[in-house]
Structure 1
């Protein structure tokens, strides 16, 4: 609605994760490097946590794009809220294998065969489990630990990357055998003031803006309200741009941001 008014080609503050607008803050870069380390050194499992829309899913997409399809088979499971048997079936389905059996032994045998086949053909299997905090109960998490028992003589046949909200940390901590298998961990924190400003400018530039749009005085109430959480930043900036359009403003100042905050509450 406000794209033409502000001179954008695209909506600047959409909340849909996109690898094309990956904001590389220092901590997002570190998270990506840690996951790449886990993958390339054949670690059994890695964990990435953070609040809603902190950039976790985007990092996992960038990770996938960073890996050669000739060397890595990277699959993503996005709905892991499943009982143990259905979780195994879902993993098999992700890997392109038949999951039409009620026998856990049969399903695990198929999974072992697929992982071994990938390894024999020079491909490392990477399974990213998004929204992993939704995995219900210890028994389903235990199945993930058992997957890490699938090994060749000298390395794991699969690298698991579990991605989720902070609850995931609690769930895994409660299962000590799985916790000890997590070789790499990283938690994304909210952006600080400096990175919040950089994030807003990055989003505006990615949308085609040729100016900052937000004034310096707008930053203080914006950061105070959002706490540096990208989801909140997106929502408040989007609403501020709409309010600015309605007020026929030439830029977004603190008064417009405060009006947008009232509008969101």
Structure 2
């Protein structure tokens, strides 16, 4: 049976490079620039703290077997100077790569481990983009960094479509300019996804947008007026509603719990 999540997304070669790119941006900031507004009430400092929290939480759980709830990490990190926070980020660099390269990312599970790694990469990449925009730095927008993020967000769709009953072979298409095309296919036991254009000339539903709009839409930072102009969804109403659910971080919430 074809895996519903589709073929593996290999972000392992990108993890350290993405981390180093973030360190490079933060190293150029003067202390007052860490207080620049970035996302809602969050500053550059808050976003950097969130990145660090994601990494340390993953290391604590998956490397050290430590599971615990706590108070707001970002709020607590506001007590740290930019210099201390930066040093902690530098110290964490490469640790996740070391963790994952010694694990079997294809190990059978409800959701494969490679998807967990890809999801973490996607979330951290989005946060870096938001930091870069707040700091007026160039985006880390090369296709090699951005396309796996688009791919990861779309991998939530087989699970999102599980309640949609369709004849085996019916297709849903997703075209993201600057990233590629994806096709979801109905099977007797659910939906699968794969890279490539659809074979059907009459898909059940379709989504068309561009890569820049897509990641912003999925992370909940694309204004509604822009979303209506830059993200086109058409076809079966029930499927269209699910496709629109990708917006506003809906794609992240549909993966299995981390």
Would the TM-score normalized by the shorter structure come out above 0.5? no
TM-score where L is the length of structure 2: 0.28
Higher relative contact order (CA 8 A, sep 6+): 1
